[in-house]
Amino acid sequence: MDDFYRENILDHYKYPRYKGHLENPDIKFRDVNPTCGDDITFELKIEDDRVTDVAFNGHGCAISMASASMLAEELMGKSLDEVKAMDKRFVLDLLGIPIGPVRLKCALLPLKVVKAGVWGLDAWQREEED
Ligand code: ZN
């Protein structure tokens, strides 16, 4: 059971989906996780409150990169309401393995970047405190 998820994480890490840049993104946001050195930028195209294109770039550990790649896949085509509904649980379920407190920031950085980019850092901080 765990093996499937571990292999999936490694696969996303080695062959990241949607890694790169967009031309003229509507939203571009970068954040870092200094404790691990993860550095992630997300770029989004938004049309009619829907994500029509997505790309991420940066570098970091396997957990942060796999989380970004999986999240990018999920974001594609979603409405902003659906993106807003993606929470910590959603990301942890995508990864599917137990994530300890130190790695939690790695796992959640991509979601933080997306949500802070769309709604501002305040919105994310309120969410993180829940
Ligand atoms: Zn990390």
Domains of the chain by residue range: 2-129
Higher-scoring residue by pLDDT: 127, 102 = 102
> What integer best gives the mean pLDDT of the chain?
94
Centre of ligand 1 from the C-alpha of residue 103, in Å: 6
Q: Burial level of 52, CB count in 10 A (0-12/13-18/19+)?
A: middle
Q: What is the mean pLDDT of residues 105-121?
A: 95
Ligand 1 centroid to residue 114 C-alpha, Å: 17
Note the pTM of the prediction, 2 decimals: 0.94
Q: Could you read off the pLDDT of 77-92 as tens digits, one per residue?
A: 999 999 999 999 999 9
- In CATH terms, the fold of domain 2-129 is Sufe protein. Chain: A (3.90.1010)
Q: How far away, in angstroms, is 82 Cα from ligand 1 center?
A: 26
Distance from chain centroid for Cα 69: 7
- How many A from CA of 33 to the centre of ligand 1? 7
Residue with tokens 């294109």: 53
Mean pLDDT of 24-49: 97
Ligand 1 centroid distance, CA of 38 (Å): 5
Spatial contact of 113 and 30, defined as CB atoms under 8 Å apart: yes
pLDDT score of 39? 98
